[in-house]
């Protein structure tokens, strides 16, 4: 729902030049809602998918030794060090129309290129290692004697994980989840490569900021930057508060 607001903003461009003094104008903030809603949807879906996949991967690789676990750990952590554009290119090679899985997906009626679902895939790859690293570190800190005690009582490995390991490691995993969501909100490079920058369809907050800056609309870019920063700071503060409340119980 579009709203009008009197905007009083003093800002500088990337080179330190003052762009405007106090600006007062009837300003329509409707341009914020579409990229904000899409960013929340993409970040939420990517975080949910990554939580399941990364936590299971961390469970299987935690405390494992040898060259194969080390290789798998490196692969799970790779998105942390690769440039987002490289990740986007890999995704195009995998799920693009001429990609490894592109033809099979097309036969199923699934097209990830230039779609918000493609943005979810890109964000999932980017945020996956954040949850994986947090989950693995948390699971490795779980008291092994408690897990062994559950096994001696007849619990299966899956039951031990669900009933013992996961509850004890939850604080660390939750911290990774919140970091992943905040990172997903700001994803840019991989999303641009695979989903494009289509207003109202695939344009997230980060892409909308880029568009506004490229168009020289510094006031619009400033509002988008403010909203993005406010959402991410609020999420991180809420996560810290929840962790502290849980510790007091």
Q: Tell me the average confidence (pLDDT) per consecutive run of 10 residues in the chain, 249 residues long.
A: 41 46 51 91 96 96 88 94 92 89 86 92 96 94 91 92 92 89 92 91 93 90 92 84 68
Catalogue the E-assigned strands of the chain.
4-6, 11-12, 18-20, 26-28
**How many separate domains does the chain show?**
1
Identify the CA nearest to 125 among candidates 159, 166, 86.
86
In a domain, 206, yes or no: yes
pLDDT at 52: 96
For residue 242, give every residue at least 6 positions away whose Cβ sits within 8 Å of its Cβ, in sequence order, or none. 174
How many CA atoms lie less than 13 Å away from 76 in the CB half-sphere?
A: 26
* CA 217 from centroid of its chain's CA atoms: 27
Task: Give the predicted TM-score (pTM) of the model.
Answer: 0.82
The residue with tokens 């799920």 is 95
Q: How many Å apart are CA 62 and CA 161, to the nearest integer?
A: 12
44 occurs within a structural domain? yes
Under 8 Å between Cβ of 181 and 43:
yes
Q: Quick one: pLDDT at residue 22?
A: 43
Tokens of 188: 């840019």
pLDDT for the residue 133: 94
Are the C-beta atoms of 112 and 121 separated by less than 8 Å?
yes
CA 72 vs. chain centroid, Å, equals 21
CA pseudo-torsion sign 87, 93, 96, 100: negative
Report the pLDDT value the prediction gives residue 99, as an integer from 0 to 100: 84
At 224 the pLDDT is: 92
Please indicate, yes or no, if residue 84 is contained in any of the structural domains. no
Q: How far is CA 4 from CA 26, 30, 136, 199, in A?
A: 6, 8, 47, 21
**What is the domain-level CATH number for residue 155?**
1.10.3720.10
Look at residue 246 in the predicted model and tell me its pLDDT: 60
Residue 118: which of 136, 155, 86, 91 has the closest Cα?
Answer: 91
Q: Tell me whether residue 142 is in a domain.
A: yes
Residue 106 maps to a domain: yes
Residue 25 included in any domain: no
| pLDDT at residue 239 in the model | 77
Residue 69's CB: how many other CB atoms inside 10 A? Answer: 14
For position 17, what pLDDT does the model report? Answer: 45
Q: Residue 5 has what pLDDT?
A: 42
Task: Read off φ and ψ for residue 126, nearest 5 degrees.
Answer: -70, -40
181 domain residue, yes or no: yes
Provide the residue range defining the domain that includes 151. Answer: 35-66+98-248
| CA dist., res. 156 & res. 140, Å (int) | 19
How far apart CA 36 and CA 233 sit, in angstroms, is 15
Give domain status of residue 133, yes or no: yes
Query: What is the C-alpha separation between 54 and 63, in angstroms, rounded?
Result: 15
């Amino acid at each position: 729902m579009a709203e009008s607001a009197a905007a009083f903003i003093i800002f500088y461009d990337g080179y330190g030049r003052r762009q405007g003094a106090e600006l007062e104008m009837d300003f329509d903030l409707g341009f914020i809602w579409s990229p904000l809603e899409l960013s929340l949807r993409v970040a939420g879906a990517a975080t949910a998918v990554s939580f399941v996949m990364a936590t299971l991967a961390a469970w299987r690789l935690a405390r494992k030794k040898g060259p194969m676990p080390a290789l798998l750990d490196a692969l799970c952590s790779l998105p942390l060090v690769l440039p987002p554009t490289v990740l986007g290119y890999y995704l195009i090679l995998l799920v693009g129309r001429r990609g490894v899985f592109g033809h099979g997906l097309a036969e199923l009626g699934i097209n990830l290129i230039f779609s918000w679902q493609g943005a979810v895939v890109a964000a999932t790859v980017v945020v996956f290692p954040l949850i994986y690293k947090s989950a693995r570190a948390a699971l490795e800190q779980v008291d092994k004697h408690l897990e062994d005690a559950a096994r001696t009582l007849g619990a299966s490995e899956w039951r031990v994980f669900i009933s013992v390991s996961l509850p004890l490691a939850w604080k660390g995993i939750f911290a990774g989840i919140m970091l992943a969501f905040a990172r997903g909100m700001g994803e840019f490079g991989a999303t641009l490569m695979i989903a494009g920058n289509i207003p109202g369809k695939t344009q997230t907050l980060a892409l909308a900021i880029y568009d506004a800056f490229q168009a020289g609309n510094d006031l619009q870019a400033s509002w988008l930057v403010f909203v993005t920063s406010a959402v991410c700071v609020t999420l991180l503060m809420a996560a810290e508060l929840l962790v502290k409340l849980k510790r007091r119980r």
